[in-house]
Amino acid sequence: MLRWILSCFLAMSVLLTGCSNASNVTTSPSASPKASPSAIAQAIPKPSANASQSPEEALARFVQLKGAATVELKLKSGTVTIELDGTNAPVTAGNFADLVKRGVYNGLTFHRVVKEPMPFVAQGGDPLGNGTGNFVDPTTSQPRYIPLEILPEGAKETVYGEVLAPTQKPKLTHRKGAIAMARSQSPNSASCQFYFALDDINFLDGSYAVFGYVTEGMDLVEKIQMGDRIESMTITQGEENIKQSV
């Protein structure tokens, strides 16, 4: 048990610090304050806030997936099918689907794979290949960040910009085969790096945004090694559900 607790702590640290350097982009001279994680946090109204802007209006500038979409991930070992859940995670799934549509992930690698002493995650999607990169929008030349987005189980309202309380369970959990967004310590610092859960890793529930699940080819995901390349990612169904309001 002690070994498992220690491995979870170390593995979670890897997941956190894997993107921590990427958050430094927000403090660089070239970074736009409007695109920074802190600015995103300010833009997302809290339920108790008397804001003139509704949550829907605040979220309208993000690409959203209004429904489901199917993504095929081609590896050298075969094809993995991923079902994106835009119903319960529209911003997170929408961001990922948009990046897939743009071809951002084609040719990138899995830069972090943790399997010992227990299966944990396979993380990829970094344009720099070292865990410090973000997606830079070519139209603005600025990094794109999205807010942490988690729908509590049984709730009607999604929680944005903050982790869930320990007593709350998310609707989309970190069961084996989940796909979720990696981020730094800032809740609103997810950009393009994602990870697959190689086992049930529910201690991450409520802290990281799950937005879909592997439906075919999980055996191939389990075989991913550090440095393995994403040959391509394509949307095979549901592309019409990608919406950009602003």
CATH of the domain at 44: 2.40.100.10
- The total number of structural domains in the chain stands at 1
The answer to whether residue 57 is domain-embedded is: no
**Amino acid (one-letter) located at 178:** A
State whether residue 144 is helix, strand or coil.
coil
Contact 142, 32 (CB under 8 A): yes
Q: Give the Å distances, CA to CA, from 128 to 59, 64, 114, 193, 227.
A: 28, 25, 19, 10, 12
The answer to whether residue 55 is domain-embedded is: no
Residue listed under structure tokens 């390349």: 229
Task: State the residue range of the domain holding 130.
Answer: 2-48+62-243
C-alpha of 97 from chain center? 11
Rounded Cα–Cα distance for residues 60 and 55 (Å): 8
Give the pLDDT of the chain (246 residues) as one tens digit per residue: 544 554 555 445 545 434 444 433 222 223 333 456 665 555 565 544 445 666 677 788 899 999 999 999 999 999 999 999 999 999 999 999 999 999 999 999 999 999 999 999 999 999 999 999 999 999 999 999 999 999 999 999 999 999 999 999 999 999 999 999 999 999 999 999 999 999 999 999 999 999 999 999 999 999 999 999 999 999 999 999 999 875
The answer to whether residue 159 is domain-embedded is: yes
The answer to whether residue 53 is domain-embedded is: no
The answer to whether residue 103 is domain-embedded is: yes
The pTM for the full model equals 0.85
Q: Is the peptide bond before 117 cis (omega within 30 degrees of 0)?
A: yes
